[in-house]
Amino acid sequence: MSCRAVAAELQISVLTARKHRSNLLGKTGLRNAAQLAAYAVAHGFRRSRAAHRSGRDGPSGSRATACADAARV
């Protein structure tokens, strides 16, 4: 998803979504969103869209995890 789509999904600003993605890339040592998406799936951060829409929490329920989930696409 684009940062704009992530921001809309999480109800945060686009700049905040970009910063979250940048922080995730820096902390994981990855180079781009595609690598970040693969990392999130490999480490179990992926939630179904139905679970996200219903408000059920994923593995940790944190906003950072939600951003990682949103960044997966």
List per-block mean pLDDT (blocks of 10 residues) for the chain, which spans 73 residues: 92 96 95 93 74 52 53 51
Its sign, for the CA torsion 18, 3, 21, 54, is positive
In this prediction, residue 45 carries a pLDDT of 82
The total number of structural domains that make up the chain: 1
- Which CA distances in Å does 53 have to 27, 39, 72? 27, 22, 16
Confidence at residue 71, expressed as pLDDT on a 0 to 100 scale: 55
Contact call for residues 14 and 4 (beta carbons, < 8 A): yes
The range of the structural domain enclosing residue 30 comes to 3-71
pLDDT for 53: 58
Please give the structure tokens belonging to residue 18.
Answer: 């970009």
* pLDDT at res. 47: 65
Q: Which long-range contacts (CB under 8 A, 24 or more apart) does 34-39 make?
A: 36/68, 36/71, 36/72, 37/71, 37/72, 37/73
Q: What's the pLDDT at 70?
A: 53
Question: pTM to 2 decimals?
Answer: 0.60
Q: What confidence score (pLDDT) does residue 1 get?
A: 83
